[in-house]
Amino acid sequence: MTDTAWIDLALTSSRPQAMGALLRYFRNLDLAEEAFQEACIRALKTWPTNGPPRDPAAWLIFVGRNSGIDKVRRQAREAPLPPEEQLSDLGDREEELADRLDGSHYRDDILRLLFVCSNPVLPATQQIALALRIVSGLSVKQIARAFLVSEAAMEQRITRAKGRVAAAGIPFETPDAADRAERLATVATMIYLVFNEGYSAMNGPDGVSADLCDEAIRLSRLLLRLFPAEPEIMGLTALLLLQHSRARARFDADGSIVLLEDQDRRLWNRRMIAEALAMIDKAMRHRRPGAYQIQAAIAALHARAERPELTDWEEIDLLYQALERLQPSPVITLNRAVAVSKREGAEAALAMVEPLAESLSGYFYFHGLHGALLNQLGRAREARIAFDRAIALATNAAEAAYIRKQLDHLADEAGHCISS
C-alpha cells in the first residue's frame, strides 16, 4: 500500500459518519460537504507527520465543524482562520469528542444522510449520482464515467439534485420507529438502484460498472452494521453479494454474455456466496419475509447448485410465486416462467409468457425469453421475429451480441433461456 493509501482508506471509511454528523450540525448539504473536504485536506497535511488519530471519524467531525464555523464567521466578520499549529494540539479534545459520540445519534446521522440522497422527489439517476458523490465520496469524473456522460453533464445533474433536496427540506428531528422503517426502505431502494446501474451496464468483470456494484455492496453493509436486526437489509445485502459473486463468470473472453447455466461455476466468488448464505440464514429466523429476502433466496438456490442440472427449480418456482403475491409484477411472472420451463417444458412457460406481451412489449428480456421458448418448440420464424425485437431493445452491446448469437444458432434444437 502506498504511503498515503492508508489515509485515503481512513477518509473513505469515515466519510458516511463524518458527513452525517456535519449535515446534522450545519443543516446544509453544501456546507457539510465543504467542511468535510476542508477536514480531509488538513488530515492529508497532518496525519503523515502526527500519525492517525485514534478515531478518524471523530477527528474529521471536530475539524470539519470548526472549519465550517470559521467559514461562517469569515463571511460574517472576515475573521482570520486560526493558525495551523493550533490544530496539531487536538489530541485531548479529539478524545473527549469521541467519547461523546453515542451509537444511536451516529446511526441516525448516517441514515439521514442516505435518506437525503434517496429522496423520491429525485429521479433514480439523480439519487444514484448524489449518493455516490455525497456518501461514497466518488469524484464527479468517476461518476460521469460510470454513467457514460460528460463531467459537465454529471456536475449539472448533481447540482440539480442538491437543489431539489434543499427545496424538499431535510428532516432533522430524531426519527421514531415508523419514520426509521420508512427511511430504511427508501434507502434500500436507492442502494438497489446503484447496484442495478452497475450490474446492467457491465460488459466485463472489471471497470467502472463493477465499481458501482462494489459500492452498492459497501453501502448495504454499512446499513446492515447500523441496523443489524433488519431482515430485509440482510436480504438486500445477500442479494447483491450473490449477484456480484458471478461477475467473473458472466462474460467470456470476448465480452459476450454467458448464461447462468453455461457459466464456469469455479469462477464464482465463494466467499461472497458464503457471506450471503449466512445472512439469509439469519434473515429467515425473523420470519418476516420481504421481497429482497425472497429474491436472495432464489439467487441462493442457484448459487448452491454445483451444476446447473442440480438446480432446485421447484423451490425456485415456489419462491417466485411468493414474490408474486408480495409484489405482483409482469417481470416477476416472466422470471417465474423460466423456472416453469425447466419443470414443465417450453409449452407451459409460453402460456405464461404470451399474456405479458402488452405490458412487457418494451422489455428486452421478454422478447429474448419469448424467442428462446418459440425456438425450443420449433417455431423458428416466430422466434426470429422475437429475437429481432430483443436486439432492438438491448441496453448494451453484450446483450445485443448474445441475441445475435441465438439467431445464429436458430437451427439448433436445444435453445437457451434468458437468465444471465
Partner 1 sequence: MLYAVLCYNDESVTSAWSKEEDDRVMRDLTAVQSKYVETGKLGPVARLLPTTAATTLRHATGETIVIDGPFAETKEQLLGFYLIDCESLDEALAFARDLSTANPSAGSYEIRPLALYEPGGLPS
Q: Which residues bind partner 1 (CB under 8 A)?
A: 1, 5-6, 9-10, 12-13, 52, 55, 103, 214, 218, 221-222, 224-225, 228-229, 234, 237, 271, 274-275, 278-279, 282, 285
Calpha distance 161→121 (Å, rounded): 9
Nearer to partner 1, 237 or 376 (CB): 237
State the nearest-atom distance from the C-beta of 116 to partner 1, in Å.
20
State the nearest-atom distance from the C-beta of 252 to partner 1, in Å.
20
On the CB side of 268, CA atoms within 13 Å amount to 25
State the nearest-atom distance from the C-beta of 258 to partner 1, in Å.
20
Alpha-carbon distances, residue 80 vs 40, 44, 67, 70, 84 (angstroms): 20, 22, 11, 8, 11
Nearer to partner 1, 39 or 234 (CB): 234
State the nearest-atom distance from the C-beta of 228 to partner 1, in Å.
3
Nearer to partner 1, 226 or 369 (CB): 226
List the end-to-end C-alpha distance of the chain, in Å, as a whole number.
Answer: 36
State the nearest-atom distance from the C-beta of 262 to partner 1, in Å.
24
Dihedral of the alpha carbons of 9, 11, 13, 16, in degrees to the nearest 10 = -160
Do 209 and 250 form a contact (C-beta atoms < 8 A)?
no
Nearer to partner 1, 129 or 276 (CB): 276
Q: What is the gyration radius of the CA atoms in the chain, in angstroms?
A: 25
Do 146 and 201 form a contact (C-beta atoms < 8 A)?
yes
Instruction: Give the residues across from 138 on adjacent strands.
Output: none
State the nearest-atom distance from the C-beta of 15 to partner 1, in Å.
10
Do 136 and 215 form a contact (C-beta atoms < 8 A)?
yes
State the nearest-atom distance from the C-beta of 231 to partner 1, in Å.
9
Kindly report the CA angle at 17 between 45 and 54, in degrees rounded to 5? 50
Calpha distance 40→179 (Å, rounded): 32
Nearer to partner 1, 36 or 366 (CB): 36
Residues 6+ apart with CB under 8 A from 197: 128, 146, 147, 209, 212
Nearer to partner 1, 242 or 373 (CB): 242
